[in-house]
Amino acid sequence: MTSRTDISRSKRQVVGFAWYKVGAIAYILWGLWHIQVVVRLWQLGATLAEPAGLGVRIQQGAFHILFFVVCAVAVGVMNWRNSRTGFWINLIAIGWTEFGLFWLFILPGTFPWFPKGWVGPALWLIAVVFTTVGQLQQKTTP
């Protein structure tokens, strides 16, 4: 039979768990997952021979996605420390990219949800949930 002290101690351990670190890992994994997207888009753009045409625009898109990859990983380090600033940067920046993916590609059917379309949004959702819990339950840094 468990005593009130044991229950109180177990509640503190759950609340004391660094949930934000799970979110930080999810943001970093989101960034690492998207490196393959950058590489594939860059290679696709390189195969299109027309200079200053579609190939260059596709490579520019790859370069823009690379910015969000760097953002997710670098700010993910801030999330590891439960940074309030890092929380908002990744929430808005990565959230905006996932919104764009969903609105512009998945809803119209341009990009399939399965087998790979769900990975980025799932990692983002996990990151948002756990960093939010961390922001609400643990001490934050600036």
Single pTM value for the model: 0.85
100/86 Cα distance (integer angstroms): 21
Task: List the chain pLDDT tens, one digit each, 142 residues.
Answer: 555 555 544 444 455 789 999 999 999 999 999 999 999 999 999 998 776 689 999 999 999 999 999 999 999 999 999 999 999 999 999 999 999 999 999 999 998 888 889 999 999 999 999 999 999 999 999 8
63's tokens: 């370069």
User: What is the residue extent of each domain of the chain?
Assistant: 24-137
* DSSP-assigned states of every residue in 78-131: HHHTTBHHHHHHHHHHHHHHHHHHIIIIITTTSS-IIIIITHHHHHHHHHHHHH
